[in-house]
Amino acid sequence: MALIVQKFGGTSVGDVEKIKRAAQRIVKTKKQGHQVIVVVSAMGKETDRLVSLASEINPKPSERELDMLLSTGEQVSIALLAMAIHSLGYEAKSFTGHQVRIITDSSFTKARILRVDADRIKDELNDEQIVIVAGFQGIDERHEITTLGRGGSDITALALAAALDADVCEIYTDVDGVYTTDPNIVAEARKINRISYDEMLELASLGAKVLQIRSVEFAKKYGITIHVRSSFHEQEGTWVLKEDAGMEEVVVRGVAYNRDESKITIKGVPDRPGLAAMIFTAVAKNNIVVDMII
Ligand code: ASP
Ligand code: MG
């Protein structure tokens, strides 16, 4: 018996059919004799819808109220998923971040998880329940609702996997895994079977969107194996794990790109100490973020 965390992203629970399909997937894992914790995102583009609703009401909405609003998206999907599992004849209970005490700091809209109270979840698992937790949300010390930043359900899944010492954290998504580069642009792009935490961090920071970068840092810190895989078929996806000997032989694992980068060349800069500092101080004073220096 293993303890498995399964995270379903927005596209994997985008409509009724997809929620039912996710439920079947979860039940199948439970049937194999494993304990299952499920983390879900809001349905499809729900979070985007809520964000634009807020900005129609107030162009600069309060961040506390934004979190109050955005956290509702996940509350809808956890309840529907629990109902879908019930109709397959299995037990499941849904929980908000508040209920399983995912404690964060107080930075609304970009909170960081401080700790998770694993006891409540353990009790439910021992009671044969499939535990479904709302992704992307927590509470601070004063019980204010917080959210973890866009794409934050990945972090919820990894945090729960760490707190409960799960055997694997499966990230279900609408692609087959992590690719050597963007298959929409390069036809020869291939799925990567195994990738190390550091290589994944590198790809994620360069714009590969399959995994939220903070969640990869989390996995690395706690040594949690991640399996990024498709929610539409059973084939294995990409394993993200600690580097092993075979992995070191690869020189280039993948290529990521960014379309929003400007390159500015300053010519004729004399090689004198203090000049770089002078240039970058001026740049920083104007709030310009420098990504790469060549
Ligand atoms: N629903 C949230 C978002 O769209 C969190 C997530 O999907 O991971 O950013
Ligand atoms: Mg995501």
- Residues 116 and 100: beta-carbon distance below 8 Å: yes
Quote the ligand 2 centre to 153 CA distance (angstroms): 7
Percent with pLDDT over 70 in the chain? 99
Token pair belonging to 176: 């087959």
Q: Tell me, what's the pLDDT at 290?
A: 77
Q: Tell me, what's the pLDDT at 190?
A: 92
pLDDT band (50, 70, 90) for residue 292 = confident
CA-based end-to-end distance of the chain = 51
> From the CB of 14, is ligand 1 less than 6 Å away?
no
- Residue 22: enclosing H or E segment and its boundaries? helix 16-31
> From the CB of 42, is ligand 1 less than 6 Å away?
yes
> From the CB of 136, is ligand 1 less than 6 Å away?
yes
| Residue 261 or residue 139, greater confidence | 139
Q: What is the mean pLDDT of the chain?
A: 92
Distance CA 268, CA 281 (A): 18
Q: Is the pLDDT of residue 289 over 80?
A: no
Q: Output the pTM of the full model.
A: 0.86
Quote the ligand 1 centre to 14 CA distance (angstroms): 12
> From the CB of 97, is ligand 1 less than 6 Å away?
no
Q: Is 142 exposed, middle or buried (0-12, 13-18, 19+ CB in 10 A)?
A: exposed
Q: Tell me which of 147, 153, 212 to substitute to probe ligand 1's pocket, judged by most ligand atoms within 8 Å of the beta carbon.
A: 153
By mean pLDDT, which of 87-91, 208-212, 246-250, 260-264 is the weakest?
Answer: 246-250
> From the CB of 95, is ligand 1 less than 6 Å away?
no
> From the CB of 10, is ligand 1 less than 6 Å away?
yes
Q: Is the pLDDT of residue 248 over 70?
A: no
> Look-up: residue for tokens 């810190």?
221
Give the pLDDT confidence of 39-78 residue by residue, as tens digits: 999 999 999 999 999 999 999 999 999 999 999 999 999 9
Q: How far is CA 166 from the centre of its chain?
A: 16
By mean pLDDT, which of 116-130, 172-186, 278-292 is the weakest?
Answer: 278-292
Q: Tell me, what's the pLDDT at 150?
A: 94
Q: Tell me, what's the pLDDT at 38?
A: 98
Distance CA 291, CA 66 (A): 29
Q: Tell me, what's the pLDDT at 251?
A: 74
Quote the ligand 1 centre to 265 CA distance (angstroms): 37
Q: How confident is the model over 113-127, as a mean pLDDT? A: 95
> From the CB of 146, is ligand 1 less than 6 Å away?
no
Give the pLDDT confidence of 233-242 residue by residue, as tens digits: 999 999 999 9
Domains and CATH numbers, the chain: 3-260 (3.40.1160.10)
Token pair belonging to 261: 């980068």
Interhelix angle for 197-205 vs 213-222, to 10°? 170
Quote the ligand 1 centre to 148 CA distance (angstroms): 9
Q: Tell me, what's the pLDDT at 210?
A: 82
Cβ neighbours of residue 139 closer than 8 Å, sequence gap 6 or more: 97, 98, 101, 102, 103, 104, 145, 146
Q: Which atom of ligand 1 is nearest to the CA of 73?
A: 1
Q: Tell me, what's the pLDDT at 203?
A: 87
Percent with pLDDT over 90 in the chain? 73
Q: How confident is the model over 281-288, as a mean pLDDT? A: 84
Q: How confident is the model over 196-209, as a mean pLDDT? A: 84
Give the pLDDT confidence of 9-42 residue by residue, as tens digits: 999 999 999 999 999 999 999 999 999 999 999 9
- Residues 243 and 198: beta-carbon distance below 8 Å: yes
Quote the ligand 1 centre to 109 CA distance (angstroms): 11
Q: Is the pLDDT of residue 213 over 90?
A: no
- Residues 158 and 174: beta-carbon distance below 8 Å: no
Token pair belonging to 287: 């709030």
